[in-house]
Amino acid sequence: MKIKIDIPSCIGCGACTTVADERIELENVNGEMKAVVKKNDFTDDEVTEMIEVCPTDAISKG
């Protein structure tokens, strides 16, 4: 399953990286740390958990 990250909403806390650290990394985007998808291939459970742990609701199914 694929996800979308709303970059302006992302605060770079890294909660999503605890779920799928090899496929999501924090990177500097215009001077701010943001979550960036490196490989958009996640299980349904991973997507559900990432959506739940994101404090700004920046992650959605996509």
Enumerate residues 6+ apart whose C-beta is below 8 A from 29. Answer: 7, 36
Q: What is the pLDDT of residues 8-26, one digit of tens each?
A: 999 999 999 999 989 999 9
Residue type, 26: L
Are 17 and 34 in contact, with CB atoms under 8 Å apart?
no
Query: Is the pLDDT score of 39 beyond 90?
Result: yes
In this predicted model, what pLDDT tens digit does every residue of 44-54 receive, in sequence order? Answer: 999 999 999 99
Predicted TM-score of the model (pTM) = 0.91
What structural domains does the chain harbor?
3-61 (3.30.70.20)
Separation of alpha carbons 50 and 62, rounded Å: 13
What the block records as the tokens of 49 is 């958990």
pLDDT at 21: 84
Q: Whole-angstrom Cα distance, residue 24 to residue 22?
A: 6
